[in-house]
Structure 1
Amino acid sequence: MITREELADVLDHPVYDGDGNKIGDAKHIFFDDMTGRPEWVSVKTGMFGSHESFVPIRDASLVEDHIEVPYRKDQVKDAPHVDVDAGGHLSESEEHRLYDYYGINWDSVLSEAERTDDGRWAAGPGTAGTAGMAGAAGTAGTTGRQDAADRGGMRGDDAMTRSEERMHVGVERHEAGRARLRKYVVTEEVQQTVPVRHEEVRVEREPITDANRDQALSGPEISEAEHEVTLHEERPVVETETVPVERVRMTTEEHIEDETVRGQVRKERIEAETEGMTEEDIRRNRE
């Protein structure tokens, strides 16, 4: 059990489950109006702490720099959503719903409310009423925000602490798509002009001269003869060969873009109220 002296070290500290998984950060302590004992702690969960879950604090313990509760992380995150009224109270039906969800017997809660412990809580007898949001211990029905003992309330130096929420925006990396290189074969027509040669028959005639007369008269005077000539031609021959032409690979490059993130944060305001002051006096004090 967390003692009253340890309450100041509870808020804004991490909350872990029994397996060492971080659930979120503790934001508010809820006290029972009848006994003054702390009953619930609200935990900011989800991305950027956008969700607030309620966890019983009766079996929680302060371990070094964090709070440890005997409930699983997913169980806490899926706890019933509860809207706290403007006075900072949980209704009895809402408490019933939370107790049922965490498997806590309502009769045992009433029995504990009728007992007093060693005096640390100064609890009086009675049944467990609605839990006020960090209400003052030992006062029935009081409401108001007290983030821990005296935190956010009036201190011994008559000063009041004003708090506000700050929005912290982070980024997470996730898979956006896939790209791959695929090689396949296509056939295309290629045209190329190449010169080819062929032989044709040409008949040449020459007159009888003194130079060729002897050759011309060497044969019979009248006869039949035949002479054959072989003709040649060139034809194009096509061959293919495979040669490497380039290397292709895939790389990634990062591009940075600005994206606007909107959220809601709560701020506390402090105003002084004095009985008997005129509206003009109040306006000047606000300025």
Structure 2
Amino acid sequence: MIQSADIREWRDHDVVDPKGHKVGTLETIYVNTSTDEPAMATVRTGLPTRQRLVFVPLDQAIVGPGYLKVAYAKKQVRASPSIGTDGVLPAEGEEAIFQHYGLAYHPGTGGERKLARR
């Protein structure tokens, strides 16, 4: 598993899909609140004047020299739920991200958020 401290060092590096196509630029890491392990990343995409942050799971992610390779195709990542470049993920938006990637979503037993920004 990629350690949270390690992956933060890759901020502003390219994020590529399994075929090596550039998806965007790594912006930030979200960890699973129950394990404190990296779970999702936000990727800056779009034109310089109209950028947004899309979410991509970090399961099976590989760190290479100057890039982060994710296990999801560029098209799927770019179609994922997004926020503005200075936005914050609302708690009610978490489940949609997991559903987009076909992943199970289980908030904390007290309804706590599953993701926290690091």
TM-score, length of structure 2 as denominator length: 0.80
Q: Identify the match of residue 117 of structure 2 among 109, 128, 133.
A: 133
Q: Number of paired residues?
A: 116
Q: Cα distance 1:21–1:44, how it changes in 2: closer, same or farther (>3 A)?
A: same
Structure 1: gaps of 5 or more residues: 114-125, 135-287
The answer to whether the 8 Å contact 2:8/2:29 transfers is no
Q: 1:98-177 to 2 correspondence within 5 Å?
A: 98-106=97-105, 129-134=113-118
How far does the alpha carbon of each residue in 1:72-108 deviate from its partner, in whole angstroms, 9 at most, with x for none? 111111112346997x5541x312111110111236x
Whether 1:29 and 2:29 are equivalent positions in the alignment is yes
- The residue type equivalent to 2:114 in the other structure is T
Runs of 4+ aligned residues of structure 1 deviating over 6 Å after TM superposition are 83-86
Structure 2: gaps of 5 or more residues: none
* CA distance in 1 between partners of 2:113 and 2:46 (Å): 30
How far off is 1:61 after superposition? 1.5
Report what 1:50 is aligned to.
51
Give the secondary structure class of the aligned counterpart of 2:95: helix
Report what 1:73 is aligned to.
74
Q: 1:227-266 to 2 correspondence within 5 Å?
A: none
How far does the alpha carbon of each residue in 1:178-221 deviate from its partner, in whole angstroms, 9 at most, with x for none? xxxxxxxxxxxxxxxxxxxxxxxxxxxxxxxxxxxxxxxxxxxx
* CA distance in 1 between partners of 2:104 and 2:42 (Å): 20
Question: Aligned residues: percent identity?
Answer: 26
Give the secondary structure class of the aligned counterpart of 1:106: coil
* CA distance in 2 between partners of 1:46 and 1:72 (Å): 16
* CA distance in 1 between partners of 2:102 and 2:76 (Å): 11
The answer to whether the 8 Å contact 1:89/1:130 transfers is no
The structure with the largest strand share of the pair is 2
Q: Which has the larger radius of gyration?
A: 1
- Aligned Cα RMSD in Å? 2.8
The answer to whether the 8 Å contact 2:21/2:74 transfers is yes
How far off is 1:9 after superposition? 2.5
How far off is 1:30 after superposition? 1.3
Give the secondary structure class of the aligned counterpart of 1:46: strand
Which of 1 and 2 has higher RCO (CA within 8 Å, sep 6+)? 2
Give the secondary structure class of the aligned counterpart of 1:50: strand
